[in-house]
């Protein structure tokens, strides 16, 4: 019986090999260009609320430091804290003042508290508000927020919009 010869690959023990990184460099260059395009120069970062569709506008002003209010079809929030519920594009009757249907009681209380506790901050002193509102909401609902905010000493309202269509 003939014995089969064992396969012996020809490997040099101390050899080095050069990794071809040209394609990887190409990929990184494309990635770099894309990231440079989306680079944000704004000082203030706004985190988009889930379930809230912002309107788009041609405005090119960067957001400034302010109290962030979001108004979606479900809730009114300050930062991430829920202030009042929204149902059928309107606030619930228990959250509104009986005599004045534009006055949102919990929003006024919260803004009043912020004005008293953070009075040393420039944006609170100047009464700046960044409002993120759902694009399908009617003006009547928005007006209630604007009205209450100005009553609480926050008359500078800035509407947050998306860039382009």
Q: Which residues bind other proteins (CB under 8 A)?
A: 18, 21-22, 24-25, 28-29, 31-32, 35-36, 38-40, 42, 45-46, 48, 54-64, 100-102, 130, 133-140, 142-143, 146-147, 150, 158-163
* Residues 74/50, Cβ–Cβ less than 8 Å: no
Q: Which is nearer to other proteins, 29 or 117 (CB)?
A: 29
For other proteins, the closer CB: 114 or 159: 159
The CA-CA-CA angle for residues 28, 48, 117, to 5°, reads 125
For the bound state, the minimum distance from the C-beta of residue 161 to other proteins, rounded and expressed in Å, comes to 6
Residue number with CB closer to other proteins (92 or 140) = 140
- Least gap, CB of 112 to other proteins (angstroms): 18
Burial (CB count within 10 angstroms: exposed 0-12, middle 13-18, buried 19+), residue 158: middle
CA 141 to chain centre: 21
| Residue 122 contacts residue 65 (beta carbons within 8 Å) | yes
């Amino acid at each position: 019986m003939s014995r089969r010869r064992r396969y012996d690959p020809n490997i040099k023990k101390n050899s080095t090999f050069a990794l071809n990184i040209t394609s990887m460099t190409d990929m990184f260059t494309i990635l770099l260009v894309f990231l440079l395009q989306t680079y944000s120069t704004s000082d203030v970062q706004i985190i988009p609320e889930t379930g809230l569709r912002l309107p788009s506008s041609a405005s090119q002003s960067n957001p400034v430091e302010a109290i962030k209010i979001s108004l979606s079809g479900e809730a009114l929030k300050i930062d991430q804290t829920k202030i009042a519920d929204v149902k059928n594009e309107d606030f619930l009757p228990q959250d509104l003042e009986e005599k004045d249907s534009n006055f949102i009681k919990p929003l006024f209380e919260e803004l009043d508290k912020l004005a008293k506790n953070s009075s040393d901050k420039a944006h609170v002193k100047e009464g700046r508000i960044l409002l993120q509102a759902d694009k399908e909401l009617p003006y009547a609902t928005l007006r209630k927020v604007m009205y209450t905010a100005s009553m609480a000493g926050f008359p500078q309202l800035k509407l947050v919009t998306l860039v382009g269509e």
